[in-house]
Amino acid sequence: MSNQKSKITYSDSGVDIDKANDLIDEIKPMIKQTLTAGVLSNIGGFGGLFELNSEDYERPVLVSGTDGVGTKVKLAQQLDILEGVGVDLVAMCVNDIITSGAKPLFFLDYFATSKLDNSQAKRIIKGIADGCLQSEMALIGGETAEMPGVYQSGEFDLAGFSVGIVDYKKIIDGSKISEGDSIIGLASSGPHSNGYSLIRKLIEDNSVDLDEMINGEKIGAQIIKPTIIYSRSVLSCIEKYEVSSMAHITGGGFQENIIRAIPEGCQAIIDKNSWSLPPVFQWIQDQAGIDSNEMLRTFNCGIGYVLIVKADVKNSVIKHFQDEDLEAYEIGSITSGEKSVIINHG
């Protein structure tokens, strides 16, 4: 009896090296569009090289952030709207690091799937490249992994990592907040990238038709809209006006994110009636049957980013964002007291 074992290649196990190499060649033009003056490395090397130009900074400080898109990727796949989740990935990282006043420099992505589908991957990476262009930063590296047995057939996941720079003396950390400061909210495009486990559950439990219309637009299209990338408009704002603190309204909603942006001895008083709950959130609330407090803990409810500024510049700051085609509202103010976020529903 022969003990000779049959030959098993990497391809037999579900990993196609040639397909991965083909993908790299196909996405090179997309990535090349994002490259900035600081990028030294060629696409496809083992590490992304970026030369830091610190001439404009007395004491340069690097600010980093990492995030994913969560279960929104499942809905994107269901709807076959894939480019937007690439933008989401960039936005979730960049909107975090700009809260310190940092200018985005470069981005890296990680794309993992059960079996590589180059057409699918190209659409996703195109979204990542578009997000980097919106952020004016370079996509200098990434990883594509085939992981059969870890992901079910057709599944994929995304993670991203971004680095920015800010001068030490210009770091925005909430230390300049004082009583009477105004809280400015910037409109979101929808749920952004948070609360999708709840959204997907209510769609499944209620057998929701995603082609149903709300305010003249399909529910599916409203729910899947990409996260707004606020970097350009926010960075141009802090060049003109003093901003005491900023918060990205992401996982955890208002309380958990704004409280991270205020110091001890300050209360953020939010007036829920200062902006209208967008129809997509009203639909989610009605479908899920949850109260307003739970909505505000789970979703951005129409406000994706917050700035805290002195009262004498609030109108100028609001106008700045309106000129940038971003809806902006005064949604509250700072008072003294035990550190907390208080939401008044009126």
The per-residue pLDDT for range 286-319, each reduced to its tens digit, is: 999 999 999 999 999 999 999 999 999 999 999 9
Whether 246 and 262 have beta carbons less than 8 Å apart is answered as: no
Supply the DSSP symbol for 46. Answer: S
Which structural domain, as residue segments, surrounds residue 77? Answer: 17-170
Q: Would you give the distance in Å from CA 26 to the centre of its chain?
A: 25
Residues 218 and 153 in one domain: no
Q: Number of structural domains, the chain?
A: 2
Domain closes at, from 140, 170, 200: 170
- Answer left, alpha or beta for residue 81, where phi above 0 means left and psi between -120 and 50 means alpha: beta
Residues 137 and 221 in one domain: no
Question: What's the pLDDT score for residue 89?
Answer: 97
What does the alpha-carbon distance between residue 144 and residue 146 come to, in Å, rounded to a whole number?
Answer: 7
Give every CB contact of residue 5 below 8 A, 6+ residues apart in sequence: none
Question: What's the pLDDT score for residue 137?
Answer: 96
Residue 176 within any structural domain of the chain:
no
Run means of pLDDT, 10 residues per run, the chain, 346 residues = 57 57 75 87 78 89 96 92 95 98 97 87 93 96 86 88 97 95 97 94 91 88 96 97 97 91 96 94 92 92 97 98 97 96 88
Residue 21: CATH number of its domain: 3.30.1330.10
